[in-house]
Structure 1
Amino acid sequence: MKSDFLTYQAQTTPHPLNFEVARAEGSYIYHKNGKKHLDFIAGVSACSLGHQHPRVKAAIHKQVDTYLHVMVYGEYAQEAPVQLCKLLASLLPDSLHSTYLVNSGTEAIDGAIKLARRVTGRTEIIAALDAYHGNSYGALSLMSLEERVAPFRPVIGDIAFIKFNCEKYLERITTKTAAVVLETIQGGAGFIEPQRGFLKKVKERCQEVGALLVLDEIQPGFGRTGKLFGFEHYDVIPDILVMGKGMGGGMPIGAFTASYEHMQLLSDNPKLGHITTFGGHPVIAAAALATLQEITETTLIEDTLKKEQLFRELLIHPLITEIRGKGLMLAALTPSVDITSQVILKCQEEGLILFWLLFEARAIRITPPLTISEDEIREGCAILLKVLDQISI
């Protein structure tokens, strides 16, 4: 399988990890050789409820036995996507009432950009330096790292950048600005939280000039930070909320949510202002609905902060210089890129799955399922500390 994987499946790096998956269950992924690996990554924050969660599986099976795809998005009323959007509305502030279901977080970012331009009649979109919102052309256009963008230019135009957590940049938000698009917590840059009321100040500036605030909750959302959505920590409400990753419990989905009045603008003048064939797919929506119900009907969200504290208590080592993030969206930083890579690769050999962050190469990503137990946290941290002890500087 490894040879076929490298030969026939397009790759994203010259040296993929080549982990041959046999099965996965709970907090573990099993290699074809029979060895089990504790999963501290959860499919890069996607598998909120771990692997093969009974409630998600049951919802999928029930929907598969009823019907699969029947019509392009927005034409037929289907139980699972309707109930998912209705439940989201009940859990969000009143101004976030109408949800457009798509296939991924990056597609949701593109939809949010289109909606912001349609609502305001303006074209300028402002993003943050070192942000990551995905790799479709709209999302890629919001990336400031020229080495990643240059090979694919021209991207969409009229994009400007501000520095996250730097108030002096707020004056760049003007009456020409359609929207400011920010990650609630910067992911690829190193799990950087907003400081000193930064998000609230951005929203206030947007209100002053008639721009919209778009918050990317693709990674922080769905309980990962100890709230259903990360923005709830920071006394701010976005005009457009973007979500994905953990929303589907391991199934591919994204969405953007705004007011009913704003979202209606995508349905007329022109009609079909945004359209997708498989967005809101009933099987995927059923999985997402079950995931959201499980997260909000249990203690998983409040337990996330307790589990964060356990990680912080356990992961004390001379080679861990800092732990960033919130809840179960954590990054342990080491003194160098080389140490971080050694740790991640050696931990996989020892039965613990860790991963890198996109731009902060010293960071060890720790984003396990919300369902991970305290015993499993202790097990994984013991492996990580053991590997750190073996690293020679």
Structure 2
Amino acid sequence: MTGSTKNYRWAFSSDFLVIEPYLFMNNRQLFLQHLAQTTDFPLLIEVEKAEGVYLHGPNGEKYIDLISGIGVSNVGHRHPKVLEAIQAQLDKYLHLMVYGEYVQSPQTKLAEALCKTLPPHLDNVYLVNSGSEAIEGALKLAKRYTGKRNIISCVNAYHGSSHGALSVGGNEIFKRAYRPLLPGVTNIHYGALADLEQINPDTAAVVMETIQGEAGIRVGTKDYFQALRKKCDEMGALLILDEIQAGFGRTGKFWAFEHFEIVPDIIVCAKGMGGGMPIGAFIANKEVMGVFKNNPLLGHITTFGGHPVSAAASIATIEVLKNESLIEQVEGKANLIKSLLIHPKIQEIRNKGLMMAVKFESFEVLKPIIDRAIALGVITDWFLFCDDSMRIAPPLTITEEELKKACQLILQAIEAS
């Protein structure tokens, strides 16, 4: 027999009465008690509903999401077309079999849709669950195809948190606690032409963010990327471009590499790909991808990669980006933000499309501004390796009026801090 009083739960056994504390925890307390934490200072914003560019709290709070869940909600939260595609797939089937065995319409149609956005050379898609997993697959593919073991990546690069992805990351603060990591990795400076000389005949691949994200939005020149492409070709190294943040329209083109008139050997994507659902991919030429089929067979395996519901959501996301002309609007919206965010405390705005960094004097100046902006109803953030700059990466669906309101609130936060 069991029962309860105000603060205790009690139970009778055959031998004795057990009385133990019983606490009624709210969601915030449960979050802190039972969910693994990544910092000692989480934002603790409680969200009851999200729609478009807004997050809604349980007590009437309303926030403009200016970071899109870190580049995920490119078509906004719960876009009707994405929800429609999810519901239609729910009525058919969920997970059926590990990736690559059954012919599943959402996977095949998504692969076709992705290839249509890319140059003909990139015609083979491997679907996974996340950006980190896509990087892992791309690194394995480059080593397997070239027969080489050395990888070059960039200082202050971020490619994910799994061991391989962390190995090619470029910030020692995040890496040192987990060493030893993948051997044979060398870092060069993004955008530095002289550093390209470190690419040599022993290099399997160069892995690089097309636009550096966590470094605070750093944008290479066309000359740099064309020299990089040429050097990789000369040395027989594959060029892996990480567009986990930059892809799916964020920079004003579907793929950021289109700005530089080059084509990578492998492209990696995730985040904005699924309209809010978890999915990622690495894409290469069919000949290159074919090395996973033997010696050993099943050279790369994923159970849930290309989950049919996520794949259906991704197809809908691609259609929304195209049918609503969202990519064509990116540059104009970015220019509007730059025209509105003018203040003596703002030192610089770096961007490629709606992938933006607003620079302040220091983290000590920036952090109170971010906190105040959240209190006023605008969610922004800083960057892992650039804590003096404010991240702005709104859903591409954001309207000019919503942008004006968000910028007004940021300026208000700056004045109040």
Q: Do the two structures share a fold, i.e. TM-score over 0.5?
A: yes
- Which structure has the bigger radius of gyration? 2
* The one of 191, 198, 203 aligned to 1:165: 191
Root-mean-square deviation (Å):
0.8
User: Superposed, which structure 2 residues align to 1:78-93 within 5 Å?
Assistant: 78-93=104-119
* Structure 1 letter corresponding to 2:345: L
- Does residue 377 (structure 1) correspond to residue 373 (structure 2)? The answer is no
**1:278 partner SS:** coil
* The one of 325, 334, 339 aligned to 1:313: 339
1:245 matched residue in structure 2: 271
Q: Deviations over 1:27-57 (max 9, x none)?
A: 1000111111111011101011111100000
CA offset at residue 297 of structure 1? 2.5
**1:21 partner SS:** coil
**Partner Cα distance (2:222, 2:125) in 1:** 30
**Partner Cα distance (2:35, 2:389) in 1:** 28
**Partner Cα distance (2:377, 2:266) in 1:** 40
**Partner Cα distance (2:161, 2:198) in 1:** 25
**2:39 partner SS:** coil
CA offset at residue 145 of structure 1? 2.0
**Partner Cα distance (1:30, 1:147) in 2:** 35
- Does residue 254 (structure 1) correspond to residue 283 (structure 2)? The answer is no
- Does residue 74 (structure 1) correspond to residue 100 (structure 2)? The answer is yes
- Does residue 266 (structure 1) correspond to residue 292 (structure 2)? The answer is yes
* The one of 109, 117, 123 aligned to 2:149: 123
- Does residue 204 (structure 1) correspond to residue 233 (structure 2)? The answer is no
- Does residue 103 (structure 1) correspond to residue 129 (structure 2)? The answer is yes
- Does residue 358 (structure 1) correspond to residue 384 (structure 2)? The answer is yes
User: Superposed, which structure 2 residues align to 1:1-393 within 5 Å?
Assistant: 1-195=27-221, 197-391=223-417
CA offset at residue 196 of structure 1? 5.2
**Partner Cα distance (1:341, 1:186) in 2:** 22
* Structure 1 letter corresponding to 2:54: Y
CA offset at residue 71 of structure 1? 0.5
Count of paired positions? 391
Q: Please tell me whether the aligned partners of residues 222 and 260 of structure 2 are also in contact (alpha carbons under 8 angstroms).
A: no
* Structure 2 letter corresponding to 1:263: M
**TM-score, length of structure 1 as denominator length:** 0.98
**2:59 partner SS:** coil
* Structure 1 letter corresponding to 2:81: R
**Partner Cα distance (1:144, 1:60) in 2:** 37
**1:362 partner SS:** strand
**1:125 partner SS:** strand
**Partner Cα distance (2:55, 2:170) in 1:** 35
Q: Please tell me whether the aligned partners of residues 152 and 188 of structure 2 are also in contact (alpha carbons under 8 angstroms).
A: yes
**Partner Cα distance (2:381, 2:258) in 1:** 27
Q: Please tell me whether the aligned partners of residues 265 and 284 of structure 2 are also in contact (alpha carbons under 8 angstroms).
A: yes
**1:205 partner SS:** helix
Identity of aligned residues (%): 48
**2:212 partner SS:** coil
Q: Deviations over 1:296-316 (max 9, x none)?
A: 223100101110010011111
**TM-score, length of structure 2 as denominator length:** 0.93
* Structure 2 letter corresponding to 1:118: R
Structure 2 residue runs of 5 or longer lacking an equivalent are 1-26
CA offset at residue 317 of structure 1? 0.7
CA offset at residue 325 of structure 1? 1.4
* Structure 1 letter corresponding to 2:334: E
**1:161 partner SS:** strand
**1:364 partner SS:** strand
Q: Deviations over 1:216-240 (max 9, x none)?
A: 0000000000000000001111000
CA offset at residue 390 of structure 1? 1.8
2:23 matched residue in structure 1: none
Alpha carbons of structure 1 residues 211 and 37: separation in structure 2 relative to 1, 3 Å:
same
Q: Please tell me whether the aligned partners of residues 222 and 259 of structure 2 are also in contact (alpha carbons under 8 angstroms).
A: no
**2:387 partner SS:** coil
**Partner Cα distance (2:163, 2:263) in 1:** 26
CA offset at residue 344 of structure 1? 0.8
* Structure 2 letter corresponding to 1:173: I
